[in-house]
Amino acid sequence: MAEDWDEETTAAGIEDPAEAIRRNRATLTVLTGNATGQTFKVKKAVLIGRSPKAEIRIDDDGMSRSHARIHYEAGAAWVEDLASRNGTFVNGERIAAAVKLEDGDKIQVGRATVLRFAFQDALDESFHENLMSSALRDGLTKLFNKRYLLDRLDSELKFAVRHEAALSLIMLDLDHFKRINDTQGHLAGDAVLSHLASVLTRAVRNEDVVARFGGEEFAIVLRAIGIEHAAGLAERLRKLIENTAIPFQGRELKATVSIGVAGYPSTPVKTPDQLVEAADQALYRAKHAGRNRVSR
């Protein structure tokens, strides 16, 4: 039995079995709403709201900019409402003052968002992170997948419309990718996709969302970036990829991309699908004009 524990805890990156099962990690998991499934670690004071400054930023129609705050200290946690418009509820009861949270308590903030407070051990935390990673990330490139991208794009667009902020979407497509697979093999194609993913991730900000949209197509969501600056970034990415040598089995592969850019409010879209369609049409124009170029 001890050997089993050693294997499990080592696999989770935890050396001490006793520490692995010590439930001392406070977490909030989103049960309903736009961010369903996401888990947030609670450390000291955590602000929940629609404000960009919130550690837990959730775009819910009934959410105030600074809606509620969780305080965590010495193994205990309290939640307080910050004079929000629609109130904060714990297990269905609206709170008027700070309330101490117990393991399993459910906190409603906004109209549709319910959070579950829990103390997790290191194994719980590792399991949940792996589960979320497999559900939200592409297996080959480790980028976010299309499902996650569309969910984030929905919340980011709502935020941009509400606050009259800019939002841009870049769509990239590898040029002649079928030719790479046919002449170099599928392993070479996988190497190109993985390397491109790492190039894109390093080239953008931490708050930008890079995703594999499908096949050889990638997407980048740029918060608070107008279409002019987004197009400039797209051109820099195009040149970077064109000049990048991709190592594969002792040789170097080369690739280029066609890029389409769309942005709000320059494109008066109302839904994420419309923004994707606008960026996709721009991508089509780039490919139709000869590939290895940017269009918007």
Identify the CA nearest to 30 among candidates 147, 110, 130. 110
Distance (Å, rounded) from C-alpha 142 to C-alpha 98?
40
Q: What are phi and psi of 86, to 5 degrees?
A: -110, 0
Distance (Å, rounded) from C-alpha 295 to C-alpha 76?
53
Whose tokens are 């050693």? That residue is: 6
Do 296 and 173 contact (CB within 8 A), yes or no? no
Distance (Å, rounded) from C-alpha 286 to C-alpha 296?
8
- Directed axis angle between helix 186-203 and helix 227-242, to 10°? 140
Identify the CA nearest to 161 among candidates 280, 272, 296. 272
Distance (Å, rounded) from C-alpha 234 to C-alpha 128?
34
Task: Provide the 8-state DSSP code for 83.
Answer: S
Considering the candidates 93, 125, 216, 228, report the single residue annotated as catalytic: 216
**Is omega for the bond preceding 268 within 30 degrees of 0, making it cis?**
no
* Cα atoms in the 13 Å half-sphere on the side-chain side of 185: 5
Is 3 catalytic? The answer is no
Q: Which two three-digit tokens encode residue 111? A: 């109209």
Residues with catalytic function: 216
